[in-house]
Structure 1
Amino acid sequence: MQTTTSTGDDRIPTEDVGAAIHHTINVADQTLTYRQVSIDDLTPTGAQLAIAAGFKSVDGVSVLQVLATGDLEDVRPNETVDLRREAGRFVIVESDPAYRLTIDNQRFDWPCRIVSGGLLRKLGQVPADKVIYFERQDQLDRQVDDQDLVDLDAAGVESFVSRKPAWKLNVQGVMLELFAPTIVVREALIEAGFNPDQGWHIFLKVVGQQKQPVELTTVIDLRTPGIEKLRLTPKDVNNGEAPVVPRRTFALLDIDEAHLNRLGLKWETLVEAERRWLLLHDYPLPVGYTVSHSKVALEIPPTYPGAQIYGFYAYPPLALSSGRVIASTQLRGVLLGAEYHGWSRNRGPAAPWDANTDSVVTQLALVDAALAKEVDE
């Protein structure tokens, strides 16, 4: 006959006096796979729990209790656990001293030197839509997939974080952070603030490969190793001379300011000798020039955007590492006492300036295309 004893609000089933108490606990090994184990004591020690789990000796055995919060708490051989009030889940393994780690700032003591990404996911209850990263000082964080192994035998606490997977794509100098592994070229241009219907030659740059022409409908898989950027070039860009449209009133569009701020460039507008300029500081240059950055200036016509921006100016004068002379750079402009050399780069008849769609944004794409053309990028 079974009786019931009461301690406060807890009612615990027991056997008749003199009969053994049978209680079931859940015990996991290094794989965090649980099995049910019977124990005859409601306040067992760590040593009793290890023996109940099947270990003949408690030497070198780690007993970790899984608390209701998900934390792991070490149970010493002579320390008791009250199974009447506490969770009956344990990780009991033969191991070296426990290794300490954190997952999303939650601390765990893990009894093995090696831990897999899958076990970290179980341990930290990381949802499937998040990626686990091993945080490292002075290095990029390392992504830990479920099948990857991490050696915890390093000084200090090993820190892991989980976050939504993200991929980066440089679209003509605008760095996008995307949370899906694929994106259509048209969507990438819109996300970066470019009009996809402007009329572009679009190229995908992958490290170690020749640039690849792509279409607006092309799907880019951002998981492809080495993807660097999308480069945009206005169609039918060529060298040539074209008259500058007479000035009337100076204007800089809101879209221009937003684009320049997205690029993170330091920029100024100024007037020198009745000429209106947009001055860009520390403008990055592709490999192949004798300098890595330069000041670049665009002369803004008075009726912009009705009138087109023509070419661009640079200071100091740009030169190629190869020593080859750059053609069509005879224009000159003086800004803040320095002489800028102007590049004569005009749009061809197939893609003339359109006041409804062209701006500083598209002109800078022409600048980048002209700079890259000289070094065969």
Structure 2
Amino acid sequence: MDNSQDFDPDGQRKGGHGAAYRVTFALDSVDFQPLTLDDPVPLGRQILEKRGLRPAEAFSLFNILPTGDFEDIRPDEKIDLRAKGAERFIAFSTDRTFRAALNGRILAWGTAAIPEHALRLLSGISHDEAVFLEVRGGTDQLIPEGGSADLGGSGTEAFITAPKPKLYVFFVNGVRYETKEHSLTGLQIKARVPNWDPTHDLVLEGHGHDPDRVIADDESVELDVKPARRFSSVPKANFG
């Protein structure tokens, strides 16, 4: 029997008597924290009990594989911590989970709503990328930062990641608006303002030495400029 000990690149001691097996563990979130186990081949319940989670049957435990897929670990199922890829675990305070696909990989979540930041972290995407709900035969839906996605439907939701769409910013009466369109007409801008007063003109505020001017409904305004365009709502009789 080989009782030699070696170290992996992350500093996890493997093999030998008295070895410590360091993994990361998250509960109902993607806040992964270090967890040290003495048994190289623990049961699922031993991993949960190490975090004080009892009874094990009240929780769902998954090993997140290097591929990003979630592998279900039952309470009395053994997992070899000496195997590459057995380093990250996530548990949920429920015996029911919701399945989804993320870039083709299967994941699970403990509630019907999964936060965007969880999808982002689990996918490992960069700041310049975003998460989208895949809509077959339609337009994929952006999951906004700070938002969440519903997993409670009848099927398995599929998510993909892609570069963030470029957004153009403008202001009306000091309120920030965003659009994926690089230009909008006066009428389109008014339509984005709640309760627009039809007796008012849309006025583009001048920048530098440029004067303020009224924007007609059919006039197109380029929004891909800096600083961002600023508009105001002015009673027709009070301008000009």
Q: TM-score range by the shorter chain?
A: 0.5 to 0.7
Give the alignment of 1:217-232 within 5 angstroms: 218-220=222-224
1:6–1:134 distance in 2 versus 1, CA, 3 Å: same
2:219 is paired with a residue whose SS is strand
* Number of residue pairs aligned between Structure 1 and Structure 2: 184
1:100 is paired with a residue whose SS is strand
Report if the CA contact (8 A) 2:28-2:93 is conserved: no
Match of 2:199 in 1: none
1:89 aligns with 2:88: yes
Q: RMSD of aligned C-alpha atoms?
A: 3.4
Match of 2:16 in 1: 14
Deviation at 1:111, TM superposition (A): 3.3
Selected match of 1:48 from 32, 35, 46: 46
Report if the CA contact (8 A) 1:29-1:91 is conserved: yes
Deviation at 1:208, TM superposition (A): 5.4
Residue ranges of structure 1 left out of the alignment (5+ in a row): 169-179, 186-201, 225-377
1:145 aligns with 2:148: no
Deviation at 1:46, TM superposition (A): 0.8
Report if the CA contact (8 A) 2:92-2:109 is conserved: no
Q: Deviations over 1:69-99 (max 9, x none)?
A: 2222111111111111232211122124221
1:120 is paired with a residue whose SS is helix
Counterpart residue identity of residue 32, structure 2: Y
Deviation at 1:112, TM superposition (A): 3.1
Counterpart residue identity of residue 219, structure 1: L
Match of 2:109 in 1: 110
Deviation at 1:56, TM superposition (A): 2.3
Match of 2:78 in 1: 80
Deviation at 1:137, TM superposition (A): 5.8
Residue ranges of structure 2 left out of the alignment (5+ in a row): 168-178, 192-215, 229-240
Deviation at 1:164, TM superposition (A): 2.3
TM-score (normalised: structure 1) = 0.42
Q: Between Structure 1 and Structure 2, whose CA radius of gyration is higher? A: 1
1:119 is paired with a residue whose SS is helix
Work out the percentage of aligned pairs sharing the same amino acid. Answer: 22
1:77 is paired with a residue whose SS is coil
Please give the alpha-carbon distance, in whole angstroms, between the structure 1 residues aligned to 2:22 and 2:136: 44
1:38 is paired with a residue whose SS is strand
Match of 2:63 in 1: 65
Report if the CA contact (8 A) 1:119-1:146 is conserved: no
- Greater relative contact order (Cα 8 A, min sep 6): structure 1 or 2? 2
Please give the alpha-carbon distance, in whole angstroms, between the structure 2 residues aligned to 1:114 and 1:163: 21
Give the alignment of 1:28-43 within 5 angstroms: 28-43=26-41
1:163 aligns with 2:162: yes
Please give the alpha-carbon distance, in whole angstroms, between the structure 1 residues aligned to 2:137 and 2:28: 31
Give the alignment of 1:311-350 within 5 angstroms: none
TM-score (normalised: structure 2) = 0.64
Report if the CA contact (8 A) 2:43-2:77 is conserved: yes
Please give the alpha-carbon distance, in whole angstroms, between the structure 2 residues aligned to 1:127 and 1:120: 12
Selected match of 2:188 from 200, 203, 206: 206
Deviation at 1:120, TM superposition (A): 0.6
Give the alignment of 1:184-199 within 5 angstroms: none
Please give the alpha-carbon distance, in whole angstroms, between the structure 2 residues aligned to 1:98 and 1:64: 11
Report if the CA contact (8 A) 2:41-2:79 is conserved: yes
Please give the alpha-carbon distance, in whole angstroms, between the structure 2 residues aligned to 1:71 and 1:37: 21
Report if the CA contact (8 A) 2:14-2:20 is conserved: no
Please give the alpha-carbon distance, in whole angstroms, between the structure 2 residues aligned to 1:24 and 1:12: 9
Report if the CA contact (8 A) 2:98-2:111 is conserved: yes
Deviation at 1:115, TM superposition (A): 0.5
Report if the CA contact (8 A) 2:15-2:82 is conserved: no
Deviation at 1:138, TM superposition (A): 7.4
1:5 is paired with a residue whose SS is coil
1:88–1:68 distance in 2 versus 1, CA, 3 Å: same
1:97–1:203 distance in 2 versus 1, CA, 3 Å: closer
Counterpart residue identity of residue 219, structure 2: P
